[in-house]
Amino acid sequence: AASSSASTVRQVKLDRESELRIEVGYDSSLRLRLLNGTAEIFGTELPPEIWLTFPPRLKFAVFTWYGATIELDGSTETDYTADETPMISYVNVHAILDGRRNRAKASSSDGSSTVQGPRVIVVGPTDSGKSTLSRMLLSWAAKQGWKPTFVDLDIGQGSITLPGCIAATPIEMPIDPVEGIPLEMPLVYFYGHTTPSNNVELYKILVRELSQLLERQFAGNIESRAAGMVINTMGWIEGIGYELLLHAIDTFNINVVLVLGQEKLCSMLRDVLKNKPDVDVVKLQRSGGVVSRNVKYRQKARSLRIRAPRSALPIGAEPAADPTRLVPVNINQDLLHLVLAVSFAKEPEEILSSNVAGFIYITDIDIQRKKITYLAPAAGDLPSKYLIVGTLTWIET
Ligand code: ATP
């Protein structure tokens, strides 16, 4: 049963193939370590005996294949042990993907043909565990020495960079259970809004740009092509959301579709993909441990909010027929507290198809002196003079 516990050191013994599900307390962190046996957090093995500190509100599970003893120090919102998990089916998927990676690698080194490594897309409703499954598949692959590419198309709760972006990054090591996805060299495209319905065409264009860039990278890198990719998607699976899933499956040349926890979506996809024999549609069970997050929590998680009525348009713009035209932005007070992307574009015509170097946050605007003050991750000149504005604002909490 779920329990709230006081801040004392305690031990939890886990039987084989069971997990300890934890929600860290709301305002204090939790320390945890592996005392004996072996255990992993979303695919990444815990080091023996070393204390790890988890921040407030984090929700995660410590799973063991063969049994383990875990020590906890600190208070939790909930912690309970579960022995029914879908982990065996998830690791079976991993084994199949691993076989395909080996075949792809072998075929490219004997020069016979160029077999594609697995290109996996994880789909399902919100809170079905898509990000978590993506993470496990990536970490298990990295543990075996592969460097699969993680692609995050979720502009609401993306885990690579800011919301409002789509991004990709190679995963070279199992993902750190506390730090998350490493941020060294992500490829980022700035969409600028947290829902695709603001500008579906732009979203599709950026997805296509990202896929073409990855395709060029794979062409020159046998290892990463064989390792393949894992794509995480949004939880929006109806109407335009469903169309966008089909668009992504097509654009990235997906060969494995993993459907989490939705019979209907699975049969729809099987039906629409039935004349593509290279695409496998696999239904997987959702974990009972996936925690539903309400709207408030999601907003808090992104620490960003969407500006209300004009949110669908760049500042100062009026609706017009072409949703992907560029509109110059006037310098005015509306820019205050906005998050702007710094484009790699050299010319304005390149802005739409360029990925971004990073972000700045506008902290002050002095119209009279024509001066904008901003926060940037590093001092010095920005790598480009082109800044892109969407509807992302950041309110310090
Ligand atoms: P969204 O569509 O909103 O992006 P999602 O389908 O990607 O959601 P996840 O982010 O994977 O869902 O999971 C939701 C939450 O549940 C996360 O905080 C995650 O850490 C947590 N979670 C997932 N699996 C477990 C588990 N087995 N035990 C405890 N917590 C879990």
Q: Which residue owns the Cα nearest ligand 1 atom 11?
A: 129
Q: Report how far ligand 1's centroid is from the alpha carbon of 129 (Å).
A: 4
- pLDDT tens digits, residue range 200-230? 999 999 999 999 999 999 998 999 999 999 9
**ipTM of model:** 0.98
d(CA 225, CA 114): 10
Given a cut of 80, whether residue 157 has pLDDT beyond it is no
Are the beta carbons of 270 and 142 closer than 8 angstroms? no
Q: Report how far ligand 1's centroid is from the alpha carbon of 132 (Å).
A: 6
Query: Which of 18, 42, 59, 63 to mutate for ligand 1's pocket (most ligand atoms within 8 Å of CB)?
Result: 59
Q: Report how far ligand 1's centroid is from the alpha carbon of 290 (Å).
A: 5
Q: Which amino acids bring their CB within 6 angstroms of ligand 1?
A: 19, 21, 59-61, 126-132, 154, 157, 235, 287, 289-291
Mean pLDDT of the chain: 87
Cβ-proximal residues to 354 (8 Å cutoff; 6+ apart), any chain: 343, 344, 345
**pLDDT attached to residue 395:** 60
Across 157-186, average pLDDT: 87
pLDDT-wise least confident of 160-164, 294-298, 318-322: 318-322
Q: Report how far ligand 1's centroid is from the alpha carbon of 43 (Å).
A: 14
**pLDDT attached to residue 299:** 58
Using pLDDT thresholds of 50, 70 and 90, give the confidence band for residue 55.
Answer: very high
Alpha helices in 110-221 (DSSP H): 130-143, 200-219
**pLDDT attached to residue 337:** 85
Across 232-251, average pLDDT: 94
Using pLDDT thresholds of 50, 70 and 90, give the confidence band for residue 117.
Answer: very high
Are the beta carbons of 115 and 99 closer than 8 angstroms? no
**pLDDT attached to residue 90:** 98
The angle subtended at Cα 386 by Cα 383 and Cα 387, nearest 5°, is 100
d(CA 282, CA 269): 10
Is 19 annotated as contributing to ligand binding? yes
Residue 6, Cβ density class (10 Å: 0-12 exposed, 13-18 middle, ≥19 buried): exposed
- pLDDT tens digits, residue range 245-265? 999 999 999 999 999 988 999
Are the beta carbons of 20 and 33 closer than 8 angstroms? no
Residue 26, Cβ density class (10 Å: 0-12 exposed, 13-18 middle, ≥19 buried): exposed
**Which one has a higher pLDDT value, 340 or 37?**
37
Across 294-299, average pLDDT: 61
Using pLDDT thresholds of 50, 70 and 90, give the confidence band for residue 170.
Answer: very high
Q: Which residue owns the Cα nearest ligand 1 atom 12?
A: 129
Percent helix / strand / coil, the chain, rounded to 5: 25, 30, 45
d(CA 188, CA 390): 15
Tokens at residue 30, please? 């939790």
**pLDDT attached to residue 312:** 37
Given a cut of 50, whether residue 397 has pLDDT beyond it is no
Q: Report how far ligand 1's centroid is from the alpha carbon of 298 (Å).
A: 12
Across 99-109, average pLDDT: 90
Is 261 annotated as contributing to ligand binding? no
Q: Report how far ligand 1's centroid is from the alpha carbon of 131 (Å).
A: 7
**pLDDT attached to residue 333:** 84
Question: Which of 189, 181, 193, 172 is closest to 305 using CA atoms?
Answer: 193
User: For the stretch 253-267, what's the b/e string if a residue is b when 16 or more beta carbons lie within 10 angstroms of its beta carbon?
Assistant: ebbbbbbbbbeebbe
Given a cut of 50, whether residue 134 has pLDDT beyond it is yes
The backbone region for 213, taken as left when phi is positive above 0, alpha when psi lies in -120 to 50, beta otherwise, is: alpha
Is 127 annotated as contributing to ligand binding? yes
d(CA 333, CA 57): 35
Across 8-28, average pLDDT: 95
Using pLDDT thresholds of 50, 70 and 90, give the confidence band for residue 185.
Answer: confident
Cβ-proximal residues to 361 (8 Å cutoff; 6+ apart), any chain: 337, 338, 339, 340, 374, 375, 376, 394
The angle subtended at Cα 137 by Cα 134 and Cα 138, nearest 5°, is 85
Q: Which residue owns the Cα nearest ligand 1 atom 9?
A: 129
Is 131 annotated as contributing to ligand binding? yes
CA atoms 366, 370, 376, 378: torsion sign:
negative
